[in-house]
């Protein structure tokens, strides 16, 4: 049975992706060895499902549509650059969510139950924190310049958008990086 690497995401739109790519350029100027997320792949992940059997995808898409329909469209702001786990040893560079955090977390929480029941999702141990990954640090070298650049970007803002849909995405891994495809679009506020 074919399996598809699957995740549930929110698309913030081209204008925000353009500003995030500009921030990636600023952070890249520090010389840090980072594998940057391609601009076209920048998104806000709600849940990562992993490998899902092809025949289960219809049920996944239906569950996402049912949950999305119970939530109204909402405003979302993308702001503040940071890193996990800490600036001295950054592994993941990210930007956070300001306005809309509560709505994103509610969507995440409401999606968990039906996807757990379908058996195609395992709850993560750490609490969900909405963010967009900019890149993954590839080196253990000192990160003083990167840490200083991140500190300067504490007030970063990529702007606001109105979110009206949730995407079920597939991720095909290639030597050049992942290729994402929208498998379904679930409108918010349709019920």
Residue 167 Ramachandran class (φ > 0 left, ψ -120 to 50 alpha, else beta): beta
C-alpha pair distances (Å), 92 with each of 131, 133, 182: 11, 7, 24
Tell me the pLDDT band of 177, cut-offs 50, 70 and 90. confident
Residues 6+ away with beta carbon under 8 Å from 31: 145
Q: Which domain holds residue 13?
A: 3-187
Q: How far is residue 66's CA from residue 78's CA, in Å, rounded to a whole number?
A: 26
Q: Which DSSP letter does residue 31 get?
A: T
Q: Residue 136: in which H helix or E strand, if any?
A: strand 131-137
Q: What does pLDDT average to over the chain?
A: 91
Residue 181 Ramachandran class (φ > 0 left, ψ -120 to 50 alpha, else beta): beta
Query: Which of the residues 71, 108, 131, 167 is marked catalytic?
Result: 131
Q: Residue 66: in which H helix or E strand, if any?
A: helix 57-69
Q: What are phi and psi of 142, to 5 degrees?
A: -55, 140
pLDDT tens digit sequence for 120-165? 777 777 889 999 999 999 887 767 889 899 999 989 999 999 999 9
List the CATH number of the domain containing 177. 3.90.1140.10
Residue 108 annotated to the active site: no
The pLDDT value recorded for residue 1 is 62
The pLDDT value recorded for residue 63 is 96
Q: How far is residue 146's CA from residue 153's CA, in Å, rounded to a whole number?
A: 11
Query: Which of the residues 43, 71, 108, 167 is marked catalytic?
Result: 43
| Count of domains forming the chain | 1
Residue 71 annotated to the active site: no
């Amino acid at each position: 049975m074919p399996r598809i690497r699957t995740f549930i995401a929110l698309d913030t739109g081209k204008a925000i992706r353009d500003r995030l790519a500009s921030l990636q350029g600023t952070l890249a100027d520090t010389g840090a060895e980072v594998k940057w997320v391609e601009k076209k792949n920048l998104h806000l992940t709600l849940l990562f499902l992993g490998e899902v059997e092809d025949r289960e995808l219809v049920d996944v898409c239906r569950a996402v549509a049912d949950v999305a329909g119970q939530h109204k469209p909402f405003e979302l702001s993308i702001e503040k650059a940071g890193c996990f786990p800490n600036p001295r040893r950054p592994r993941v560079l990210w930007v956070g969510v300001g306005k809309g955090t509560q709505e994103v977390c509610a969507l995440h929480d409401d999606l968990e139950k039906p996807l757990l029941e379908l058996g195609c999702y395992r709850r993560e141990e750490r609490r969900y924190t909405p963010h967009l990954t900019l890149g993954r640090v590839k080196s253990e070298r000192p990160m003083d310049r990167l840490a200083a650049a991140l500190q300067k970007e504490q007030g970063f803002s990529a702007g606001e958008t109105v979110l009206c849909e949730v995407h079920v995405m597939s991720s095909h891994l290639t030597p050049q990086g992942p290729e994402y495809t929208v498998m379904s679009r679930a409108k918010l506020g349709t019920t």
